[in-house]
Amino acid sequence: MTTTRPDIGLIIVGDEILSGKRADKHLPRLIELLSARGLQLGWAEYVGDKPERITDTLKRAFASGDIVFSCGGIGATPDDHTRQCAAKALGVGLQLHPEAEKLIRERMQDVAKEQGVPYEPDRPDNIHRLNMGVFPEGASIIPNPYNKIPGFSVGDVHFVPGFPVMAWPMMESVLDQRYAHLFQRGAYVEKSVIVFGSMEATLTPLMEQIEREHPGVKVFSLPSVDHPTYGRHIDLGVKGAPADVDPAYLLLLDGLSTLGVKLGPELVRG
């Protein structure tokens, strides 16, 4: 019996990504983290710093029922809007999270000690730093092992900083602590074959037949025109649980044999 699992999504917030000032590194890293746990990314979305657009994006995320990671915009500078937009998307207020406040104050004390100056909790800049712990009502914190400044979660939507050195271990801890029951290590495989001299339109009826007769798998077709090894080709295959993939892949090979197309190497990815 196939168990329905929630999709996993990623939201990247920041004008600097859309302008090209910085290259996004979160997408490939989250794909790696998920793949190591037998999971897949279902969707990803990039959004700039416009509050209205962030709010609309987060409304969809909260309503989706998906597991969603949002990276960026949770600081306390004027161009950081994610915390406020999350509250607006939820229709709730903002409040200083007591555990976040404790962690942020610990961080300020650590910095003062490192600099050899007294800790002044009422200094204006230190008071301002507490804004980084102002989260939507009902949020829980995500610990930050890098500098103690936490992220936060509301349901299955998880907010982490834009800095990879902070975001990546935070996303990994959320996966391991919240979603270990979804892991499918060793329970997912892709099998494909390199097809030369054919067009996707020719292969489509075979692909439709496989998905019709084997509903537990997904068929994929990845054409390339300038691959450094194979040149023009189609990487054609099936993916899913091994027990479902094996018979579907045999049907794929049989169908390709009937079509008389030229085949190259077979590929297996787990």
pLDDT band for 185, please (50, 70, 90 cuts).
Answer: low
Per-residue pLDDT band for 146 (boundaries 50, 70, 90) equals very high
pLDDT tier at 241, thresholds 50, 70, 90: confident
CA atoms within 13 A on the CB side of 231: 4
Looking at residue 2, what is its pLDDT?
44
Per-residue CA distances from 210 to 2, 145, 171, 269 (Å): 18, 47, 36, 19
pLDDT in tens, 9-24: 999 999 999 999 999 9
Give the Å distances, CA to CA, from 195 to 191, 217, 223: 13, 20, 9
Q: How many helices (H) and strands (E) does the chain have?
A: 9, 12
Q: What are the two backbone dihedrals, phi and then psi, of residue 21, each rounded to the nearest 5 degrees?
A: -65, -35
Give the 3-state secondary structure of residue 267.
Answer: strand
Please give the single-letter amino acid code of residue 28: P
| E strand or H helix that includes residue 195 | strand 189-196
**Angle, CA of 44, 45 and 51, to the nearest 5°:** 150
Examine the pLDDT at 1 and tell me if it is beyond 70: no
At 57, list the tokens: 């994006």
**Can you tell me the distance from the alpha carbon of 106 to that of 175, in angstroms, rounded to the nearest whole number?**
26
Q: What is the pLDDT of residues 190-232, one digit of tens each?
A: 899 999 989 999 999 999 999 999 998 999 999 998 888 889 9
Instruction: Please compute the mean of the pLDDT values over residues 18-33 and round it to a whole number.
Output: 94
Question: Do the Cβ atoms of 250 and 173 come closer than 8 Å?
Answer: no
pTM over 0.85: no
pLDDT at 226: 86
Domains annotated on the chain, with CATH: 8-182 (3.40.980.10), 189-269 (3.30.70.600)
Amino acid at 194: I
